[in-house]
A and B are shown apart, each in its own frame.
Chain A
Amino acid sequence: MKRKAIITGIILSLFVITQLQAQYKVGDVVSDFSLKNVNNKNVSLAQYPSAKGFIVVFTCNTCPVAKKYESRIKQLDRDFSAKAYPVVAISSNDVKVNPGDSFEDMQIKAKSEGFTYPYLYDESQAVAKQFGATNTPHVYVLEKEGKQLVVKYIGAIDNNADDASMATKKYVEDAVNSLIDGKSPEITATKAIGCGIKWKKTSGGNT
């Protein structure tokens, strides 16, 4: 009886641990992933040996907030890929819920908008779940520490979705600049209003 309880306890705690690992917090070590890019080639973070870090952006084609930020995401890549912190964009929306977020639509968008960074299709939504991304756009700034990638900032790009010129706090820019200067970002986590990631509907569920 006692043994059974201990085993149950171990199983439960393992479950809790995996749950916790599935959602990154600042300071956590990130596991690499491999996702299909719009050019049909898979991309993983290990393919960037010279990168000092990454600006991982969960975004999509259709969300009006993500659209508002599109030119700012491009600018981040222009500013920071040369400084070894490239943008890696990921779309995790379920196509059945949001038909405009299909892989083909992503390819069209990347081409017409001239994306200079990978735009990856997280079809299984495993990477969004691994990171704990909830909104679009939702940014994770990562830094290489030895062989590990560590989360340094999670949240919004800046503090004005409507108008970039009105933003008084540029969270991602400031965080990456701090890392480049060898410092820790002052603000490490923010929240923002955005479209929720469109999760797959579980069969039989009615949510």
Chain B
Amino acid sequence: MKTCLISIALIFISMTSILAQDIQRISKAELSSILNDPSDKLHVINFWATWCAPCVAELPEFQKTVSKSDPAKVDFLFISLDFPSDGIKKLIPFMKKNNYTFKLALMTETDYNSWIDEVDQDWQGSIPATLFFNHARKVHRFIAEPMDQIKLVKTIHSLL
């Protein structure tokens, strides 16, 4: 009985640690290196936060698109701009509750002004915002407004 409880506790601990590890953090430098990736691949980076209602609303559609896309051709990354003070605490249950499997990273640089322009010069900072790029093909599209699945799929197809 005792060993049973211990093993349950161990499983629980390892599960939570796996979940905690799933929330990756991204620094300004790491974002910068992704933004400068020269490879022939379409990157789709969505900027969102759990506190942003229109962002949360578009995620189910985005998840469907991620699931249907060929990862060799399109690389999706969802950068959460949740506050670092409570971001991890909010993101873990949020991802789990919605069964989201997309690649997520919590932004650690809160001096937004230091990296917003690198994403797109015209971005004023409102979210949701989605960046599409493939430097090998000189593709750069930035959409700073909510998108439905049709618009997302059409945009991806037009850029592939």
**A-to-B contact residues, CB < 8 Å:** 64-65, 68, 134-135, 138, 155-156, 159-163, 166, 168-169, 190-197, 207
B149 to chain A, nearest CB (A): 13
Q: Is A191 in contact with B111, judged by CB distance below 8 angstroms?
A: no
Q: Given the complex, which residues of A lie within 8 Å of B112, measured CB to CB?
A: 156, 159, 161, 191-193
CA distance A70 to B78 in the complex (A): 28
Main secondary structure of the interface of B (DSSP, over half): loop
CA distance A194 to B129 in the complex (A): 11
Q: Is A135 in contact with B126, judged by CB distance below 8 angstroms?
A: yes
- For chain B, the bracket of interface size reads 20 to 34
Q: Is B125 in contact with A193, judged by CB distance below 8 angstroms?
A: yes
Q: Is B110 in contact with A161, judged by CB distance below 8 angstroms?
A: yes
Q: Given the complex, which residues of A lie within 8 Å of B124, measured CB to CB?
A: 134-135, 138, 191
Q: Is B51 in contact with A191, judged by CB distance below 8 angstroms?
A: no
Interface: B98 (CB within 8 A): no
CA distance A197 to B54 in the complex (A): 11
Q: Which residue of B lies closest to A198 (CB)?
A: B54
Q: Which residue of A lies closest to B51 (CB)?
A: A64
Q: Is B111 in contact with A196, judged by CB distance below 8 angstroms?
A: no
- For chain B, residues 27 to 67, give those with C-beta under 8 angstroms from any C-beta of chain A: 47, 49, 51-52, 54
- For chain B, residues 110 to 160, give those with C-beta under 8 angstroms from any C-beta of chain A: 110-114, 116-117, 123-127, 144-146
CA distance A163 to B111 in the complex (A): 11
Q: Which residue of B lies closest to A98 (CB)?
A: B53
In addition to A162-B110, A193-B126, 18 A-B residue pairs with Cβ atoms within 8 Å of each other are A64-B49, A68-B83, A134-B126, A135-B126, A159-B114, A161-B83, A163-B85, A169-B111, A190-B113, A191-B124, A191-B125, A192-B116, A193-B81, A194-B127, A195-B127, A196-B126, A196-B127, A197-B126
